[in-house]
Chains A and B, each alone.
Chain A
Amino acid sequence: MTVSAGRRPLEGVRVFEISIAVAAPCCGKAMAHHGAEVFKVEAHSYPDVARAFGSAWARDPELADIFCDTGPYVPEMSAGKRSVGLELKQPQALEAAKRLLATCDVFLTNFAAPGIAELGLDYESVKQVRPDIIYAGMTGFGVDPDKPYYPFRAFGPNQAPLVGWDALTGFPHEEPAGIPSIAPPDYMGGLHTMLAIVTALHERDRTGEGRFIDISQLETTVSFLGPYLVGQDLGVPEPFRNGNRVSWAAPAGIYPCAGDDRWIAVEVPDDEAWEALAGLAEWADVPAHDASGQSALSTYPHGTLADRIAHHDAIDTELAAWTSRRSPQQAAAELQALGIAAYEVLNHTGVLADPQVHDRRPYSIAPSPRLGRDLFVRNPVRMSATPPYVTRAGPNMGGDTVDVLTEIGYADDDVEQMVANGTAFVDARPDVVLERPFDRWYESVGIAEFYDAEGNITGGAQ
């Protein structure tokens, strides 16, 4: 295999992915962006939630058979992949999956360990088909049935509480706020898995041998608490949720701005930035909130970090009075001019209007078999010589079944027979191409690069 300059580093690498929701799919998506050929093997009898969610605007019963292709999570998690429809609980489908596996370098799954074993795709079975396979199994609690949590159910929203992230989210005087509506542990699991797979590919280049990778998401995500776990043993008091404050910089927080539900995040990184902030003339107008009766900001112009942490409440009150008289953009510009980290707390519409987003276009628009074209986030690793990209959104559920089965040696008759008997399936009504309700905005919102099927950037706003 050769890769010339400009060719992506995973071109030629083939990935067999059997996955659900976020953790494994976001890993496969990143691999596709770096050039890997990723086969998402999926089934109607146990569909990925990204398929089940569909889209709110596509609930017309006439669209029921293609609803699974309409969800925005489909391109967000699987852009650039090929979808192979195989009902793996049927022997003929499993046989086809193994023929595909024999051509693959990587096996990627986040199905629970008992479930993947039931399908006959545990490591030993896969290794028999492809001895040098790199097998990455993502589970909640590992693959050892003798361990205490082995049978337990783990999925996205339940992971953050388990690994200590929820208890650390919120204010000390309130219940933990947690992060029930988002799933950062899943993305972090996906990134660790990607790192492990690329490491195994690097190793295999030298040794020719495959590898079994056991990603137990508990260990993976608990690893982020390292300094505090080390500290427990040395007698450091246990950390407690502390709003948006940090132990090494003050003030830090999110402060209200003029307008309804408008906020700014502020972190003063060092003494110099603090002195610049405290030196602003405006503090004379801010009512004092410290016990001394003086403005904390004017009282501690040369305050050390310890001083600022000790008077954080008073500083917060005064800073909030200052930010409340400004729009978030105005406050951020003024604070950044002083060397202070500050940004508007953007919501969705804020991201859409953000000048940096408009300039750098962190989203892609690429051809989609079901939606003409579709929108998804780009890989943030902007490499100058081998930039990551994909040339297709989608995929349709089962849209690549016929091509892939043919490529691995099935005759047309065999494929037809498998589709007819339900062991394999193809995408429903491939000729039906819908349009997202906001498709016509793509040109005007200006947040995305447009890619054609060859990977060329064809321009942004037109």
Chain B
Amino acid sequence: MSPAPHSHGPWSGVRVLDLTGLSGAYGTRVWAALGADVICVEPPAGNPIRSMPPLAPGHEGPEASLWWAYYAASKRSVVLDPTDAEDAAALVKLIGSADVVLDDAMPAAQEAYPWLADAGEGGLGVAGIVERFPHLTWVSITPFGMTGPRRHWRSSNLVAWASCGLASTVGFPHGPPLAPAGEIGVLMHGASLHAVIGSMMSVRARNLAAAADEPALGQTIDLSLQEVGLWLSPETGVPLYLDDQVPRPRAGNRRPVTSPMGMYPASDGYVAIIAIQPAHWNAVAQWVHELTGNEGILDEIFIDIVVRREALEAVDAWVEELTTRFTKQELFVEGQRRRIPITPVNTVGDLRHDPHLEAVGWWRPEEHPVLGTYTVPGSPFTTDGDWWAWQRAPMLGEHTEDVLGELT
């Protein structure tokens, strides 16, 4: 039995067609679990996410990717081949049944879909689709937007971080710029959240217009990955720079504004410490003193952050005498007890066993007909309502018959 879309949840009754890859997947995952009927329209070979590693060990084929297993949760899968005339017609019909379509094809493709021509709608681009289906919201998520001299340029999570100015500030002074958090794709997640929020806004505007007996209100949304990056990075953005004229070079994992400030070695990894306020420094100094007998560190002169910057190497060395004696989790718990802003530099393995996530019951088991049983993360936030309904990711084309059968 294929799971049906759940019939409760705050967005039940809203249908979303997801034609995207990574730039839409996270946001539509959240929307689907909140009740929207999110249908992934896939080509016969499957959405490219289905082939992204890591794959479940011992598995290959369209169900093996853990990206798919995670990001397609609670969605449905319909396979349509837009080069086939019958499928193209079905796709147009399916679009007509939807409230929102999210598309990450390049602008040139979105401006003139051949499958729309096959369906008897020659030359119908995105603007034309909304004219034909006046209630529809069509979201174009593209590298640089639907307009401008670079609209046909390609991008990726890495390239988008480069294009918005943020990557230039991440990394060590001696090395190249870096994408934050590497391949987990933080910017792509941000784009998908913006795309879904914009879609929800559009649905709301449409519903309000309908309630007021106004004409159907559909629209297009033009979302550029470069501009998502600009929105996410005021710390490195143009308004701050124009104001202070201070360049923001790569400074590595410590900020040489004072000490301790940044990453310090623990016995099993690293911790991050921020001690700017005098109370925070005093707590660090007291702890170092208790542990190592260091008297000098208690000297009042070090309460001044400028003095600690001038004596950076010495103070860092003192702090390291403390941090290297404990595990990062020990430093986290005891440091926080002492009211020091300190956190462990967690790895994925650490998080799998994090005491908070275990205490709130975040993890839940999931069964998959191909991959078996495994543990998956819980909801990104909670409410006092019955909002969430999580289901395993759909298999390739699992809902094609159901969904097409519903279309009249």
Q: Which residue of A lies closest to B160 (CB)?
A: A343
Known: A158-B342, A347-B168, A360-B224. A188 touches B189 (CB 8 A): yes
Q: Are A223 and B380 in contact (CB under 8 A)?
A: yes
Known: A177-B178, A201-B204, A359-B147. A380 touches B197 (CB 8 A): no
Measured between C-beta atoms, what is the minimum distance from A185 to chain B in Å?
9
Residues of B within 8 A of A211 (CB): 383-385
Q: Are B200 and A244 in contact (CB under 8 A)?
A: no
Name the interface size band of chain B.
Answer: 35 or more
Residues of A within 8 A of B148 (CB): 355-356, 359-360
Measured between C-beta atoms, what is the minimum distance from A106 to chain B in Å?
14
Measured between C-beta atoms, what is the minimum distance from A167 to chain B in Å?
5
Q: Within the complex, which residue of A165, A336, A360, A441 is in contact with B184, where a contact is CB–CB below 8 Å?
A: A165
Rounded to whole angstroms, the CA-CA distance of A229 and B197 in the bound complex is: 26
Q: Are A229 and B376 in contact (CB under 8 A)?
A: yes
Q: Are B374 and A198 in contact (CB under 8 A)?
A: no
Bitwise interface map of A from 430 to 457 toward B, beta carbon under 8 Å scored 1, else 0: 0000001110010000010000000000
Name the interface size band of chain A.
Answer: 35 or more
Known: A248-B53, A269-B156. A155 touches B205 (CB 8 A): no
Q: Within the complex, which residue of B11, B156, B332 is in contact with A199, where a contact is CB–CB below 8 Å?
A: B11
Residues of A within 8 A of B377 (CB): 222-223, 225-226, 229-230
Q: Are B251 and A175 in contact (CB under 8 A)?
A: no
Bitwise interface map of A from 231 to 253 toward B, beta carbon under 8 Å scored 1, else 0: 11111101101111111110011
- With most chain A CB atoms within 10 A of its CB, the pick from B157, B198, B211, B214 is B198
Residues of A within 8 A of B62 (CB): none
A163 at the interface (CB under 8 A from B): yes
B232 at the interface (CB under 8 A from A): yes
Q: Within the complex, which residue of A2, A181, A267 is in contact with B159, where a contact is CB–CB below 8 Å?
A: A267
Within 8 A of A (CB), among B361-408: 362, 371-372, 374-385, 387
Rounded to whole angstroms, the CA-CA distance of A365 and B348 in the bound complex is: 42
Q: Are B170 and A241 in contact (CB under 8 A)?
A: no
Which of A90-98, A278-286, A382-390, A401-409 is near enough to bind chain B? A382-390
Q: Are A231 and B201 in contact (CB under 8 A)?
A: no
Q: Are A3 and B356 in contact (CB under 8 A)?
A: no
Q: Are B178 and A169 in contact (CB under 8 A)?
A: yes
Q: Are B158 and A254 in contact (CB under 8 A)?
A: yes
Measured between C-beta atoms, what is the minimum distance from B324 to chain A in Å?
13
- With most chain A CB atoms within 10 A of its CB, the pick from B155, B163, B172, B350 is B163
- Interchain Cβ contacts under 8 Å between A and B, 11 examples: A2-B214, A9-B204, A73-B240, A159-B343, A161-B270, A166-B270, A191-B194, A191-B197, A344-B162, A356-B148, A381-B195
Nearest 6 CB-CB pairings of A with B: A265-B162, A381-B198, A385-B219, A348-B241, A226-B70, A359-B148
